[in-house]
Structure 1
Amino acid sequence: MSSSSPVPVARTPVPMPRTAVALGIADPVEQARAELKAALAAIEEKANVPRRVAKVTDRAITQARAFARRNRTGATAAVVAGAATVGLIVWAAVRAYTR
C-alpha cells in the first residue's frame, strides 16, 4: 500500500542565537525590528567586557582544576614557580625603586 502523499518529517526546533534574524519575516517593519534587535544583541555581546572576562576566567579555573586533579605534582610545581616569579618581580621592583 503505497501512497503518493509525502510523509511529514518531524523536525526538532533548532535554538536560534540572539544575534540572528529569523527567516521568513514578510513585514518590512518586523524585519527591521528583528535586524535592530539582532544588531543590538551583537553589540552587547561584543562590548560586555566584564561578562567576557568572567567566561574566560571560569574556563581557565575549570582547566586548572582539571589539571590539578590529573597531575598534583605538576600543579604544585606550577604554583611554586608562579609564587617564585611574583616574588622575584616584587623584589626587582623594590630594589629598582630604592636605588
Structure 2
Amino acid sequence: MSSEVPVPRTAVPLGITDPVEKARAELKATLAAIEVKANVPRRLTRASTRARRTAREFSRDNPVAATAIVATAAGVVGAIVWAIVRSYTR
C-alpha cells in the first residue's frame, strides 16, 4: 500500500529520472500554469463567488453595518449620477 501524495497540475512530480519524461512533465506543468493564470473568466467567477460568500457572512454577522454600507454606497452612486447628469445638462 503506497501513500502517494497527489501532485498539483502545475507541479512536476519528483523522482522522474528520464530526461525526456522530465521535460514532458515540465512542459505539461508549465502549460497548466499558463492556463490557470490566463483563464480570466474562471478567475473572475471564483473571485466573485468568494466576494459574495464574504458579503453574506458579513451581513449575517453585522446586519446593521451591512445595511449602512449598502445605503452609503447607494447614496454615493446616486450623487455621482446626479453630478454627471447635472454637468451634462448645463
TM-score by length of 1: 0.83
Aligned to 2:54: 63
Aligned to 1:40: 31
* Length, aligned pairs only: 90
Aligned to 2:16: 25
> What percent identity do the matched residue pairs reach?
62
User: For structure 1, which runs of at least 5 residues remain unmatched after alignment?
Assistant: 1-9
Aligned to 1:52: 43
**Runs in 1 of length 4+ with deviation above 4 angstroms?**
none
Write the letter of the residue equivalent to 2:14. L
CA RMSD after TM alignment: 1.5
Higher Cα Rg, which structure: 1
CA drift of 1:98 comes to 1.4
CA drift of 1:85 comes to 0.9
| Aligned-partner SS, 1:29 | helix
User: For structure 2, which runs of at least 5 residues remain unmatched after alignment?
Assistant: none
CA drift of 1:11 comes to 6.7
CA drift of 1:12 comes to 3.7
Aligned to 1:74: 65
